[in-house]
Amino acid sequence: MARILLIDDDRDILLSLRMVLEAHGHEVHELTHVREVAAEVARVAPDLVILDVMFPSDLEAGFKAARALRRDPATADIPIIILSAVNQRSPMGFTFSDDDISPDFLPVEAFVEKPVEPRKLLELVDRHLGKA
C-alpha cells in the first residue's frame, strides 16, 4: 500500500487516523509540528500527506507548509489532503472548502473537515493515490 505522512499537533487525531490507515495496509508516519516538514518529507518520501492547518505556533502553518511543499520541485507532486477543524475553531470569520483550492492560495487535492468518517478518509486517500 502507500506511505502516508500525517501532520497534526493533536495526538488523539494522529492515533485515530493511524489506526484506520494501518488497518487498510498503509505505512503511517507522524509529525506533530510543521517546523521540519521538508526534512521529514525528504526522509519518509510519502506517497501522500495529510495535513492540519492550525498549530499552536501559527494558526496558518498548514497552509504555509502546503505552499512550501508545492514550491519545491522534489515535493511538488505529492498529493496533500488538508484535514482540519479550522472552520470550527478559527476566528477568521470565513470558512474554507474544496472551492478554495488553487495553485497559489490552497495548493492541495482536498480540504476536509474534522472529524472525518473512516470510510470517507479511505475514499479520499484512494482517490488521491489514483486507486479509485
Q: Which spans in 5-110 are helix H?
A: 11-23, 37-44, 61-71, 86-89
Predicted TM-score (pTM) of the model is 0.90
Given the DSSP bridges, would you call strands 3-7 and 48-51 parallel, antiparallel or unpaired? Answer: parallel
Provide the pLDDT confidence category of residue 94 given band limits of 50, 70 and 90: very low
How far is 132 from 12, CA to CA, in rounded Å?
A: 28
- Give the burial class of 86: count Cβ atoms within 10 A of its Cβ; 0-12 exposed, 13-18 middle, 19 or more buried: buried
**Which residue has cell 502507500?**
2
Per-residue pLDDT band at 97 (split at 50, 70, 90): low
- Structural domain harbouring 69: 3-128
Tally of structural domains, the chain: 1
Kindly tell me if the per-residue pLDDT of 101 is higher than 80: no
CATH number for position 66: 3.40.50.2300
